[in-house]
Structure 1
Amino acid sequence: MTANPIPRVEQQESEAESQLKPMHAETAEAEADVNGAAEAATDELIGIFYVENRRRKQNIKIVVKLCPEGIYLRRETAQNDHINEQLIRIDDIIGSSCGQRLKKRARGGLTSCKSTRNQQQEQHQHPDAEGAGAEEQQGKEADNSAYLYIYAYLKKEKPLRRGKTLRILRFRTSDDYAENLATARLWHRTIREHKQRSGAAGEVARATGKKLLILLNPKSGSGKGRELFQKQVAPVLREAEVQYDLQITTHPNYAQEFVRSRKDLMERYSGIVVASGDGLFYEVLNGLMGRMDWRRACRELPLGIIPCGSGNGLAKSIAHHCNEPYEPKPILHATLICVAGRATPMDVVRVELTHRDRHYVMYSFLSIGWGLIADIDIESESLRSIGAQRFTLWAIRRLITLRCYRGKLYYLPAKSSTEQPAAAPAAAPAAAPAAAQSTTGTPQEQANSQAEPQPADFSEFKDLPDDEDVQLRDNQSDLDQFADALSLDRSIYRQNADSWHSAVSRRTAYYSIGGQSSRSNRSRLNVSQRIEAANAEFNQLVPVSKIPGLQMPLSAADGWLHEEGEFVMVHAAYTTHLASDCYFAPESRLNDGLIYLVIIRAGVGRSQLLNFLLGMHNGTHLPMEPDPHIQVVPVRAFRIEPCGSHGILTIDGERVDYGPIQAEVFPGLINVMTTTGQ
């Protein structure tokens, strides 16, 4: 290792992050032995390490203390008796690994010696070399040291960033590699235990053997989805010791059908991560809501998102909620959020649509749009090749040729921002949703007749019979159509082969642990009676909406407000950001049970509308004082009844059939991956 006056880290670490900061915890004396300290207690480990300083020809002693708060590093110099200390918080450590020296030499290593006396003897025998250089001059003697690599991403507030910090602890207190490795493993295991105690659910999932399910759209990110994942996401997952199954989507609605039909979803996975834009997250959400056991799935499977696509409103909203950085490395920062191992409840909006006498039900997490913004979003698709500038160019065109839409708007205002909605009333017997049937066609048709969520305690609900043997037998044929384990044959990595980088790759499933997947060929049992019984029970527990159906009238006596006329735009949002650069609803929270309805009525001036569009990037677009043309209303539910048959309606940025639509919020229905937890 290159000698340095203080412990150094990789080149990515900034100067401010490498400074040792004061701490209040006391450390051990300089003569403390690493193995002796390790045997004392696993809650607190203390070791003495050295960094060679070639310029001053001296060793700098570093006392390292591992405790539930994190890792304390105490630097002592004999020349001026100056002491610097630094704390790396346990929450900032994403993982560690131990073993032999990695081939790539990383900076930031700390060396533990048998004792100060032994180290001085080694230097006396080799006066022209110090530390690692001395070992190299000793000939072909094997390196019996064990190394512990600690990966951390330290948070910096101004500007809001996270910088990578690597600490390498070298254990060589014994001539036996096995003994040194046992000490390194003890430190490694203790780090994981401290992270588990700090509330990181990922450590608990790892202990149970569950993995993350990652769904990746290879066409996201201008067709560079696989490359982005391999270069930016996979290294962080490896550092965090996260085991995962990677599913590559092959066609529209692949993710929705996969999530809906996979019977062992909760038994196999600890969470679902979407590596794409908001569109794939929309598929996963509606796939979960199409399951017979959607209550359990929503409760046990937190959802995460890594912004590899073009529409990244949810990823930006989650980063805003956690006070985590987003730019300039949104994929890195979002991956760190997903591996943090915590989850926070998030609202889901139930949407009803009618088109040509057909009724649809689907679920939304981002926004519903009618008018100006929806027009710009959908109509600018023809300019997708020029990137984000397409929105600006199309916004200018829409301002010049401003449209107004006639229709009726109903909304149920929230009485106060702190009021919690009442739980859904008990449901009367209703027709069972056809959630177990395979659907085709438009997303609206696939979401038709899905079960409705209940914003109440689901602990009393019982899903399908928890017969693991029956479920395992029933799973195999369903898994075959999706699972495709990555072969260990090295020939797949050859150029122009069926490899990761191949543009024509047919592989759709990759696993972080090598080896072929084994599947049972046992015959499936006849479980139709069990399914029918579960359906009958589910039938009695399907909750009903708190608001009238889309075909029913809305009464002012129930608190509904109504207006009819021409509108430039009606846009409903329930996250802070509609895109990474669109701060649309600054007051929104992930779990506030509110829909922020932004209404722009006909008669608004083009200059005022231009200021509105320009202000959306920083949240200054909403009027501070009452305005007759632009209004924002926090609501629990709303209905739009447009006149005519020509116009654009969007749900989470996806176009849907034009016609009457109504929406109702269900607070905290799903859990999303965050760094803060509940």
Structure 2
Amino acid sequence: MAGSREEKCENLNQSETLLEETFYVLSKKKSVFRVKLSKLGLCLINESEELIKEQLISINDIIGCRCLRSKKQKNSCACQSLARTSSIKVVDEKSGDHDDEDISAYLYIYAYILQNNGSNIHRDRTIITLRFRSFDKYEDNYKEAQRWRTVIKKLLNGESIEKKNIFEFGAIIPLKEDRRLLFLLNPKSGAGRGRALFQKKVVPILQEAEVPYDLQITKYANYAREFMRTANVFQWTTVVAVGGDGILFEVLNGVFERPDWLEVLNRIVFAIIPSGSGNGLARTIAHQFSEPYHPHPTLAATLALVKRHVEPMDIVRVETRSKIMFSFLSAGWGLLSDIDIESESLRMLGGQRFTLWSLARLIGLRSYTGKVSYLPLDERQQQQLPKMSTKTSVDPANVDFPDEVLLETAEMRTRLGSWYSAASRRSAYFSMVGSVYQSTTGSNNEEDEENGTKTPLVYGPGSQVAALTAPVPDNWVCLEGQFVMVHASYQSHLGEDCLFAPRSKLNDGIIWLLIVHAKATRSQLLHFLLGLSTGAHATSKDASGSIELVPCLAFRIEPDVSEQGYITVDGEHVEYGPIQAEIFAGLSRILVP
């Protein structure tokens, strides 16, 4: 583990150093740190011991930094020394509540560092505080802190930096923020903790990264869908669904009810913050990009927002007898759909509702009569299928950083050069004051033909396969009989603990269709359900042919409508009857860690 960290530090040492400064630990004047900043990250070199110790903070783990100033202390006087580290309070310079007696400028660097303690892989929040007090004027110390901040910010934004231009940054070059996020929050998702989760877990990280955002809180079903259909969404660069998979389903389908749907998909990126019961997409993203998910599922998703790495994501066009909709997660008929819909009354239990209802449905097992057809992959596509991944963990860097590292420069250093501009615009900190918190106050205007309201038109890509009402093409595989379930997924996970299709990728253009025939025994079904948590069901061979998982490009389900049952799309209940789906590779874009 340590070898990996040393190798990274060696790589950083070989990378061009952009900035370098000597600092001291506030409580230990003899503890000397040489801090080097390069394009790879921040390296802290402790030279106070016989053996030089290096610690690396990768630029990929840093999310933001702010220049701050010490806060005015009550009953303070000029002769008082600075308070102990644990009691230092800082404020933005514009607050007017700063301590004029302290000439120091503080650079707070926020990082979420990967820790690997055996099976416990997680990210720890760490604050590196660099206290600049080398000069005898606050303005000069602030300019030096600002120089470091500007370089870090540019590195985080992926901008190219020439070392010869760095000294110009002392003039406080304005940092442009070209992002603005829109959060659509469902306060009733999961166990109803969405609003509190957003304020406690998401907002602090956005503030550390200085990302501006607006918030809309939904008040009724399909509000997010209506909002995306009618609003001027181009004022935002990213639309973030806060809730379960259902609210992102609303968001995407609102986009496809716009004539300019393609422009929206080209200009706007989507993201999800999990606070629902299933959270299949959020779990999929964390899994595919080897990011720790438990025990803090919102952390990986929120870090993805501020790091703004974008990946294409497949979208599936779904057609029923009366509707066309677009799906990003799954569609199903039978057992899993029964569990999803019938366990709604246990929503207050969160994800445990699925486990309890799975046992109930296993005892009262049902089967359904119908016909299942699918378009298989051709031979070339079969050969290109990804192999089962054996990777179970992330990069095992094991860095032991405390929660906070506070270092300071030497006091009152004589200024050696005129690197600074006379003009000094103080505080480059972007306040969240510009963010909007808004709840909808309109009445429920969900489209419903029975109530006389108009059903919106659906746009999006046209079908590339035979219509739902047309005969099944000859190159499709057709199965007819009785089924316990048929479930299609285009993501690896259907829920936090349901690894449904281990070989699925966000942008592989493949639907994974699971077919469970009625001849499957309860013992086989129990083994199958238990295997969903690890993906074991996808690797075990079923000699009886009762359970099969097949990759395909499109499928059609035609249930016997004289029976009663459930069909779901992305966990949403749709009409019981014929349904057909086909995949469009990489049609949308999603933020990933």
TM class, shorter-chain normalised?
Answer: 0.7 to 0.9
Tell whether the 8 Å contact from 2:334 to 2:567 is kept in structure 1 after alignment: yes
Tell me if 1:66 matches 2:37: yes
Structure 2 CA distance for aligned equivalents of residues 82 and 623 of structure 1: 50
Report the equivalent of 1:225: 194
Report the equivalent of 2:207: 238
Structure 2 CA distance for aligned equivalents of residues 329 and 184 of structure 1: 32
Tell me if 1:302 matches 2:263: no
Tell whether the 8 Å contact from 1:153 to 1:165 is kept in structure 2 after alignment: yes
Question: 1:262: how far off?
Answer: 1.5
Tell me if 1:47 matches 2:47: no
Out of 347, 356, 362, the position equivalent to 2:325 is 362
Out of 458, 467, 482, the position equivalent to 1:450 is 458
Matches within 5 A, 1:184-195: 184-195=145-156
Q: Secondary structure at the match of 1:590?
A: coil
How many residue pairs match? The answer is: 494
Tell me if 1:329 matches 2:296: yes
Q: Secondary structure at the match of 2:347?
A: helix
Structure 1 CA distance for aligned equivalents of residues 13 and 566 of structure 2: 66
Largest Rg, 1 or 2: 1
Q: Secondary structure at the match of 2:338?
A: helix
Tell whether the 8 Å contact from 2:226 to 2:254 is kept in structure 1 after alignment: yes
Question: 1:389: how far off?
Answer: 3.4
Tell me if 1:587 matches 2:554: no
Change (3 A) 1:103 1:269: farther
Tell whether the 8 Å contact from 2:186 to 2:217 is kept in structure 1 after alignment: yes
Structure 1 CA distance for aligned equivalents of residues 454 and 559 of structure 2: 24
Report the equivalent of 1:249: 218
Tell whether the 8 Å contact from 2:221 to 2:446 is kept in structure 1 after alignment: no
For structure 1, the residue ranges without an aligned partner over 5 or more in a row are 1-14, 29-41, 105-125, 200-205, 421-437, 454-543
Q: Secondary structure at the match of 1:162?
A: strand
Out of 446, 456, 470, the position equivalent to 1:552 is 470
- Which residue identity does 1:589 align to in structure 2? K
Matches within 5 A, 1:595-606: 595-606=511-522
**Cα deviations by residue, 1:175-220 (Å, 9 ceiling, x for unpaired):** 2111111111111111011112279xxxxxx835431111111222
Question: 1:43: how far off?
Answer: 7.3
Question: 1:666: how far off?
Answer: 0.3
Question: 1:441: how far off?
Answer: 2.4
Question: 1:290: how far off?
Answer: 1.5
Tell whether the 8 Å contact from 1:371 to 1:647 is kept in structure 2 after alignment: yes
**Cα deviations by residue, 1:268-291 (Å, 9 ceiling, x for unpaired):** 211111111111010011111122
Change (3 A) 1:593 1:417: farther
Question: 1:644: how far off?
Answer: 2.1
Question: 1:227: how far off?
Answer: 1.2
Tell whether the 8 Å contact from 2:183 to 2:215 is kept in structure 1 after alignment: yes
Out of 154, 166, 171, the position equivalent to 2:113 is 154
Report the equivalent of 2:447: 440
Matches within 5 A, 1:20-59: 23-24=9-10, 44-54=18-28, 58-59=29-30
Change (3 A) 1:446 1:345: farther
Change (3 A) 1:566 1:196: same
Change (3 A) 1:301 1:26: closer
Report the equivalent of 1:658: 576
Report the equivalent of 1:9: none
Tell whether the 8 Å contact from 2:110 to 2:128 is kept in structure 1 after alignment: yes
**Cα deviations by residue, 1:354-401 (Å, 9 ceiling, x for unpaired):** 1xxxx2100001110100111111112223344433323322222222
- Which residue identity does 2:494 align to in structure 1? L
**Cα deviations by residue, 1:552-580 (Å, 9 ceiling, x for unpaired):** 11221xx2111111111000001011010
Structure 2 CA distance for aligned equivalents of residues 393 and 25 of structure 1: 51
Tell whether the 8 Å contact from 2:191 to 2:347 is kept in structure 1 after alignment: no
Tell me if 1:271 matches 2:246: no
**Cα deviations by residue, 1:88-120 (Å, 9 ceiling, x for unpaired):** 11111000001203689xxxxxxxxxxxxxxxx
Tell me if 1:178 matches 2:127: no
Structure 1 CA distance for aligned equivalents of residues 268 and 68 of structure 2: 33
Tell whether the 8 Å contact from 2:12 to 2:43 is kept in structure 1 after alignment: no
Q: Secondary structure at the match of 2:538?
A: coil
Higher strand share: 2
Report the equivalent of 2:47: 76
More relative contact order in 1 or in 2 (CA 8 Å, sep 6+)? Answer: 2
CA RMSD of aligned residues (A): 3.1
Structure 2 CA distance for aligned equivalents of residues 379 and 247 of structure 1: 29
Greater mean alpha carbon deviation, residues 273-282 or residues 377-386: 377-386
Out of 338, 356, 359, the position equivalent to 1:375 is 338
Report the equivalent of 2:416: none
Structure 2 CA distance for aligned equivalents of residues 643 and 299 of structure 1: 40
Report the equivalent of 1:143: 102
Change (3 A) 1:21 1:625: closer
Change (3 A) 1:392 1:447: farther
Report the equivalent of 1:216: 185
The sequence identity of aligned pairs, in percent, is 46
Report the equivalent of 1:457: none
Change (3 A) 1:594 1:102: farther
Tell whether the 8 Å contact from 1:347 to 1:593 is kept in structure 2 after alignment: yes
Q: Secondary structure at the match of 1:397?
A: helix
Question: 1:418: how far off?
Answer: 5.8
**Cα deviations by residue, 1:457-477 (Å, 9 ceiling, x for unpaired):** xxxxxxxxxxxxxxxxxxxxx
Q: TM-score, normalised by structure 2?
A: 0.78
Structure 2 CA distance for aligned equivalents of residues 172 and 581 of structure 1: 51
Report the equivalent of 1:85: 54
- Which residue identity does 1:633 align to in structure 2? V
Report the equivalent of 2:398: none
Greater mean alpha carbon deviation, residues 579-588 or residues 224-233: 224-233
Report the equivalent of 1:637: 554
Question: 1:300: how far off?
Answer: 1.9
Out of 493, 496, 519, the position equivalent to 1:577 is 493
- Which residue identity does 1:390 align to in structure 2? R
Structure 2 CA distance for aligned equivalents of residues 384 and 103 of structure 1: 48
Structure 2 CA distance for aligned equivalents of residues 224 and 208 of structure 1: 30
- Which residue identity does 2:565 align to in structure 1? G
Q: Secondary structure at the match of 1:46?
A: strand
Question: 1:308: how far off?
Answer: 1.5
**Cα deviations by residue, 1:305-357 (Å, 9 ceiling, x for unpaired):** 11122221110001011110100111122211222111100100000001xxx
Structure 2 CA distance for aligned equivalents of residues 340 and 73 of structure 1: 23
Tell whether the 8 Å contact from 1:408 to 1:641 is kept in structure 2 after alignment: yes
Question: 1:223: how far off?
Answer: 2.3
Q: Secondary structure at the match of 1:377?
A: helix
Tell whether the 8 Å contact from 2:317 to 2:327 is kept in structure 1 after alignment: yes
Q: TM-score, normalised by structure 1?
A: 0.68
**Cα deviations by residue, 1:653-673 (Å, 9 ceiling, x for unpaired):** 111110100000000000010
Change (3 A) 1:368 1:83: same
Question: 1:626: how far off?
Answer: 4.9
**Cα deviations by residue, 1:585-615 (Å, 9 ceiling, x for unpaired):** 1111100100000000011111111111111
Structure 1 CA distance for aligned equivalents of residues 24 and 303 of structure 2: 31
Structure 2 CA distance for aligned equivalents of residues 635 and 103 of structure 1: 65
Out of 233, 243, 249, the position equivalent to 1:282 is 249
